[in-house]
Amino acid sequence: MSETAAFRVDVDLGERSYPVHIGPGVRALLPGLVAAAGAERAVVVSARPRGLLPALGVETLWLAAADGETGKNLAAVAGLCERFARFGLTRSDVVISCGGGTTTDTVGLAAALYHRGTPVIHLPTSLLAQVDASIGGKTGVNLPEGKNLVGAYWQPRAVLCDTEFLATLPPRERVNGYGELARCHFIGAPGLAALPLERQIARSVALKASVVARDERDQGLRHVLNYGHTLGHALERATDYALRHGEAVAVGTVFAGRLAGALGRIPPARVREHRDVVASYGLPTALPAGVDHDTLIAYMRRDKKAEGHALTFVLDGPGGPALVAGVPEELVRAELAAMPRDGARAVASPPVPAP
């Protein structure tokens, strides 16, 4: 990583390696990347106005995307693939996603499936997508039964984290991105809160790149990136996505600290550090009032990390974070009951879809 305002981090995956460029104005690199891919056509799926992106120098179909969890589903993927086909896109061409994590996830999955794999370049425009979602090749969509339950690994050709896109983010969306930065504190990148924004993004991307290079397909080490996510994903689903991803991961991180403390894996001071780090970013640290604990437990048992529906968490410990399966339900219930409640984020949980 260089020390200038623009950073480049490489995700080292042999012949599928790719650069992540971070800094103001890096979207200007897009036409060169399209030319380097040898594409004759491009489809741009963008949640931002077309005028914000440079002309690509090849025949281009521009499609509008709507960021948001409600449009992150298989129907959206099918709709995109149909548009690609009608445009005559081939797998020597390129798909470009421009938007938040829901856009990069959905468009990434469409690119992974179309012609069994078409090159994709991501231009994440939210902080959350720049620090995490667009990096590492996980693509996916939600089912009514849970979040990100259908997906594919499909590495992009490049990721352009243009920090100019962040200037207009609403405050809640910016804080949402901090959720993934706060969890970095416990998985190998402490002290990010004090850094300038570009450097925060670059450090988070570098951490993720080093993990993905060693465990692309989530066989072990990559689980650490899901710190705080077992409860986080359940909270998102149980609140019908009223709680944003980063907010939910923040609460999940506080909870993971409490659970690790209750299991004797970390001392009380480290449990408090979880709460303090999350709070220092202005993120929520309490459960939304009204969220139903049975619902949370049902969704946590459907988590992708869970083996045989055992309650499974990534938890801090003497040797660092590790996947801990089979956490007793009574303990999880007791810690949920002991969490503070946030009356300002009160929700009623919709019913869990039946098996």
User: Of 205 and 352, which CB lies nearer to ligand GLY in the complex structure?
Assistant: 205
Q: Is 225 one of the binding residues for ligand GLY (CB under 6 A)?
A: yes
Least distance to ligand GLY, CB of residue 132, Å: 5
* Structure token pair of residue 343: 């009356």
Q: What is the 3-state secondary structure (H, E, C) of 233-289?
A: HHHHHHCCCCCCHHHHHHHHHHHHHHHHHHCCCCCHHHHHHHHHHHHHCCCCCCEEC
User: Of 225 and 259, which CB lies nearer to ligand GLY in the complex structure?
Assistant: 225
Alpha carbon distance 307, 321 (integer Å): 18
Least distance to ligand GLY, CB of residue 2, Å: 24
Q: Is 140 one of the binding residues for ligand GLY (CB under 6 A)?
A: no
The C-alpha torsion from 167 through 63 and 61 to 33, rounded to 10°, is: 40
Q: Is 222 one of the binding residues for ligand GLY (CB under 6 A)?
A: yes
Least distance to ligand GLY, CB of residue 336, Å: 23
Q: Is 112 one of the binding residues for ligand GLY (CB under 6 A)?
A: no
User: Of 122 and 138, which CB lies nearer to ligand GLY in the complex structure?
Assistant: 138
Stretch that binds ligand GLY, among 1-9, 151-159, 219-227, 277-285 (CB under 6 A): 219-227
User: Of 53 and 251, which CB lies nearer to ligand GLY in the complex structure?
Assistant: 251
Q: Is 138 one of the binding residues for ligand GLY (CB under 6 A)?
A: yes
Least distance to ligand GLY, CB of residue 23, Å: 22
- Which run of H or of E encompasses 148? strand 146-153
User: Of 44 and 225, which CB lies nearer to ligand GLY in the complex structure?
Assistant: 225
User: Of 232 and 288, which CB lies nearer to ligand GLY in the complex structure?
Assistant: 232
Evaluate whether 309 touches 209 at the Cβ level (below 8 Å): no
Taking CB under 6 A as the criterion, the residue among 226, 285, 312, 349 binding ligand GLY is 226
Stretch that binds ligand GLY, among 3-11, 42-50, 168-176, 222-230 (CB under 6 A): 222-230
CA dist 217 → 77, 89, 112, 312 (Å)? 22, 28, 15, 18
Alpha carbon distance 9, 256 (integer Å): 29
List, edge to edge, every strand of the sheet that includes 41-46: 7-11, 18-23, 158-162, 120-124, 94-99, 41-46, 59-64
DSSP string spanning 151-204?
Answer: EEE---SEEEEEGGGGGG--HHHHHHHHHHHHHHTTTT-TTGGGS-HHHHHHHH
Number of chain residues interacting with ligand GLY (CB under 6 A): 6
Stretch that binds ligand GLY, among 132-140, 247-255, 283-291, 298-306 (CB under 6 A): 132-140
Taking CB under 6 A as the criterion, the residue among 23, 108, 136, 321 binding ligand GLY is 136
Q: Is 293 one of the binding residues for ligand GLY (CB under 6 A)?
A: no
Q: Nearest to residue 29, comparing CAs of 121, 129, 92? A: 121
User: Of 12 and 329, which CB lies nearer to ligand GLY in the complex structure?
Assistant: 12
Where on the chain is the footprint of ligand GLY (CB under 6 A)? 132, 136, 138, 222, 225-226
